[in-house]
């Protein structure tokens, strides 16, 4: 093999290694999910008929009043027109919800809860 071919092969190998490393680094910086679609969560329980197919969030109620709720250690504001739903009453009130209940909720673009859905009564 001539010296010229050995040098060319070395340069080519160096370029390919650098290119592979650069592609790897660029790929690490790109998130896997580029969509900005809102993700919906579905709890591992059978939802009653009429309930949404997924929720913007769900968890156990830790505190609840007319203006805000604490669900799974997250403080979330209530929209002024929030609606409450239970398996037996699709037009319920907040009085039917208590601390420890498993709920799902839907939010508006401002992050406020627009509807709260009772999934399972708490054990207290």
The SS3 of residue 63 is strand
Give the model's pLDDT for residue 54.
Answer: 85
Model confidence at 4, pLDDT cuts 50, 70, 90, reads low
Name the nearest CA neighbour of 59 among 45, 49, 48: 45
Write the pLDDT tens digit of every residue in 52-106: 888 999 899 999 998 999 999 999 999 999 999 999 989 989 889 999 999 999 9
Q: Which phi and psi (to 5°) does residue 120 adopt?
A: -155, 135
CB 76 within 8 A of CB 43: no
Model confidence at 16, pLDDT cuts 50, 70, 90, reads confident
Write the pLDDT tens digit of every residue in 25-35: 877 776 665 54
What the block records as the tokens of 42 is 């579905």
Give the model's pLDDT for residue 45.
Answer: 74
pTM for this predicted structure: 0.65
Give the model's pLDDT for residue 38.
Answer: 57
C-alpha distances in Å from residue 94, one per residue of 19, 57, 69, 76 = 59, 18, 11, 15
Is pLDDT larger for residue 10 or for residue 88? 88
Write down the residue that tokens 């092969």 correspond to. Answer: 9
Rounded to whole angstroms, the Cα distance separating 121 from 99 reads: 9
What the block records as the tokens of 37 is 């679609």
Assigned CATH class of 57-120: mainly beta
Is pLDDT larger for residue 95 or for residue 38? 95
In the predicted structure, residue 41 carries a pLDDT above the cut 80? no
Give the model's pLDDT for residue 1.
Answer: 55
């Amino acid at each position: 093999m001539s010296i010229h071919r050995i040098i060319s092969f070395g340069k080519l190998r160096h370029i390919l290694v650098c290119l592979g490393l650069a592609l790897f680094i660029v790929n690490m910086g790109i998130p896997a999910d580029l969509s900005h679609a809102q993700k919906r969560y579905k709890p591992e329980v059978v939802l009653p008929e009429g309930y949404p197919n997924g929720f913007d969030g769900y968890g156990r109620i830790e505190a609840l009043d007319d203006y805000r709720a604490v669900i799974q250690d997250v403080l979330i504001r209530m929209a002024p027109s929030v609606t409450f739903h239970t398996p037996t009453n699709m037009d319920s009130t907040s009085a039917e919800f208590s601390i420890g209940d498993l709920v799902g909720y839907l939010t508006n673009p401002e992050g406020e809860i627009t509807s709260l859905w009772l999934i399972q009564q708490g054990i207290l």
